[in-house]
Amino acid sequence: MSGLPADPIPVRTTIFEHMSARAVERGAINLGQGFPDGAGPDSVRQAAARALLEGPHHYPRMRGTEPLRAALAGFYADTQALAYDPAAEIVVTSGATEALASAILALLAPGDEAVILEPAYDAYAPLVRRAGATPRFVRLQPPEWRVGRAALEAAITPKCRAILVNDPVNPTGRMLDSDERAILGEVARAHDLLIVADEVWEEVRPAARPHVSLAADPLLRERVVKIGSAGKIFEVTGWKVGWALAAAPIAARIAATHQYLTFTTSPALQQAVAEGLAGERAWLEGMRRAQEASRARLAQGLAAAGYAVLPSEATWFLSIDLAASGIARTDVEFCAELVDRHGVAAIPVSAFFEGEGAPSNVVRFCHAKAPQTIDAVLERLKAARPRFG
């Protein structure tokens, strides 16, 4: 278009959209983009349908409906012993990515810097740059993917204002342990940094291992922005209902930014999510058991077929190590051949890094699928294994 100014931030299609489109073109089974085969609790979908028919049908409160904010406060008090004021410390957004955008745009200014732990959700760095700030990357290494104090400290300069943390972690499937949380907290306090804690996978974890939020540390409570997602909790990714929880002064800045992005979110979906948070704890327990079973089914099948499977305990994802599997291809090459010739879409984990030298031997699969889907994938991967060497 004539007169269109150059964009300093390159516009590109996400790897998830690219691989999903490729899967459709090839008629492949899509274990690339993270979405489950399930449709969430029936009661939550019924609540959404009822609210669509009965209303309200007009703009809800900008910060979110009162029932949903109250439900969020109750849910986190019950499940994580967190205390949030629903009126002053909770902002409902159109998906967790919008919550991230609202937080990053509200809290970073031109000239600031933000630390990002890699591998990282691919929206983080572009959003930091849209705020006029500069991302500084801390590269974690497979197979442990652990956060280390020295690397974290080395990335921090006087311009740093925030650390972006994902826990549980997409794409690795790890949950941060107490030592890593302590390192993040101590470094944030020492350098007076905010923490944007992307905790959307908080309920998709082992039944026996509760999620511990960074906001649970009383020394961090005033500097943590906690991000959550109904799409991940209830397996309704297309609903795009998310939220940001933070101390009142920070929440006010996030709300002020949110009002000029999406302003608000469907009241019918907010009502349904509120009912689900209040009444579907048993469904969440069953969901966790189902995800553990599907993760184990895919991991065991991949290992039996000759692929080296990396540890995974949470999220909808697990990965294989190509080099340890004896496969002399990069993750990009492997994923291209896998979808084009063998009918399975996956994600190269190098897409979660920026710059040179990123690990190129790890491939991510989404295991949140029905048993028959996983079995069909395993048949194809078993047949493909000899062709990869």
The stretch 210-236 carries a mean pLDDT of 98
Count H helices, E strands: the chain? Answer: 13, 13
* Rounded CA separation 241/92 (Å): 7
306 in the same domain as 203:
no
Is residue 65 over pLDDT 80? Answer: yes
For residue 137, what are its two tokens?
Answer: 């990357």
Is residue 1 over pLDDT 50? Answer: no
* Rounded CA separation 90/81 (Å): 16
119 in the same domain as 58:
yes
Query: Residue 154 is part of a domain; what is its CATH number?
Result: 3.40.640.10
Residue-number span of the structural domain to which 256 is assigned: 42-278
For residue 50, what are its two tokens?
Answer: 């009822």
Is residue 55 over pLDDT 50? Answer: yes
Q: Which of 59-63, 337-341, 355-359 has the lowest mean pLDDT?
A: 355-359
- Mean pLDDT across the chain: 94
The stretch 122-130 carries a mean pLDDT of 95
Asked whether residue 6 is domain-assigned, the answer is: no
- Are β-strands 224-229 and 242-245 bridged in parallel, bridged antiparallel, or unpaired? antiparallel
188 in the same domain as 61:
yes
SS3 assignment, position 133:
coil
120 in the same domain as 261:
yes
232 in the same domain as 105:
yes
Selection from 310, 322, 313 nearest residue 348 by Cα: 322
Is residue 2 over pLDDT 60? Answer: no
Q: How many domains does the chain have?
A: 2
Asked whether residue 5 is domain-assigned, the answer is: no
Cis peptide before 171 (omega within 30 of 0): yes
Query: Residue 380 is part of a domain; what is its CATH number?
Result: 3.90.1150.10
Asked whether residue 9 is domain-assigned, the answer is: no
Type of residue at 87 = A
The stretch 99-126 carries a mean pLDDT of 97
217 in the same domain as 298:
no
